[in-house]
């Protein structure tokens, strides 16, 4: 896999652990509604982003990619909600399941030439959503010293733009293929239509 693929996975993992560290550190100060929202956002965003990447990597086997992506989404939702309440766990797990399945479906529906763009778009949504989530968590938890990036939303936007400008310099995320290198499911549909 190209270097951009590993950078993409690293970004997803780092932002997940930043939120989990915050949730664990302030678990007694986070109320149930915020805990449920954190679990739901993490489960859904990690599930759909990981589901898209896994759906592209395992393009020839939709069953396996759906199971793997759903398991990742459910696990992330569980981990995000376990420090708050059982309701947050359930909310995170269901959101993760749905996100994982939707990511794989999206990967199966788009042309291979558009996968790079779609992963980058979803990563922008993922990082943006996580930054807003962290910003909200700092506002909710009183008497905590906020890092400079979260004191002013304008600084956060500038860092966000710089981050993705640098990210786009890493090149391709997936190996080059043509649109004719489709998965088995798409090839079978074309063969059935030709009959």
pTM of the model: 0.81
3-class DSSP assignment, residue 60:
coil
In the chain, domain spans: 3-194
Residue 37's pLDDT is what?
Answer: 92
d(CA 166, CA 95): 30
Q: CA-CA distance, 40 to 30, in Å (whole number)?
A: 15
The torsion angles phi and psi of 175, rounded to 5 degrees, stand at: -60, 150
pLDDT of residue 159: 83
Q: Mind giving me the DSSP string for 116-185? A: HHHHHHHHHHHHHHHHHHHHHHHHHS-S-PPPHHHH-HHHHHHHHHHHHHHHGGG--SS----TTS--HH
Please tell me the predicted confidence (pLDDT) of residue 65: 94
* pLDDT value at residue 171: 76
Is residue 67 classed exposed, middle or buried when 0-12, 13-18 and 19+ CB atoms within 10 A define those classes? Answer: middle
The phi-psi region of residue 144 (left if phi > 0; otherwise alpha if psi is between -120 and 50; otherwise beta) is beta
> How far apart, in Å, do the first and last CA atoms of the chain sit?
37
| Per-residue confidence in pLDDT tens, the chain, 195 aa | 778 788 888 989 999 999 999 889 888 888 888 889 999 999 999 999 999 999 998 888 899 999 999 999 999 999 999 998 899 999 999 999 999 999 999 999 998 888 888 998 999 899 989 988 888 888 888 777 777 777 777 888 888 888 888 888 877 777 776 555 555 555 555 666 666
Residues 6 or more apart whose Cβ sits within 8 Å of residue 26: 137, 141, 144
How far apart are the C-alpha atoms of 112 and 169, rounded to whole Å?
A: 21
Q: Quick one: the chain helix, strand, coil %, rounded to 5?
A: 80, 0, 20
């Amino acid at each position: 896999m190209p270097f951009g693929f590993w950078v993409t996975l690293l970004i997803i993992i780092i932002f997940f652990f930043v939120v989990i560290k915050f949730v664990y550190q302030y678990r007694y100060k986070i109320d149930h509604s915020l805990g449920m929202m954190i679990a739901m956002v993490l489960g859904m965003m990690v599930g759909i982003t990981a589901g898209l990447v896994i759906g592209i990597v395992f393009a020839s086997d939709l069953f396996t990619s759906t199971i793997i992506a759903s398991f990742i989404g459910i696990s992330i939702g569980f981990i995000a909600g376990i420090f708050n309440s059982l309701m947050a766990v359930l909310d995170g797990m269901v959101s993760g399941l749905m996100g994982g399945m939707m990511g794989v479906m999206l990967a199966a529906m788009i042309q291979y030439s558009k996968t790079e763009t779609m992963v980058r778009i979803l990563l922008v949504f993922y990082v943006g959503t996580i930054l807003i989530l962290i910003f909200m968590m700092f506002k909710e938890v009183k008497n905590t010293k906020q890092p400079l990036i979260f004191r002013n939303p304008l600084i956060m936007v500038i860092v966000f733009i710089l981050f993705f400008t640098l990210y786009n310099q890493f090149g391709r995320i997936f190996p080059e293929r043509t649109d004719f290198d489709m998965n088995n499911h798409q090839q079978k549909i074309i063969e059935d239509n030709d009959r």
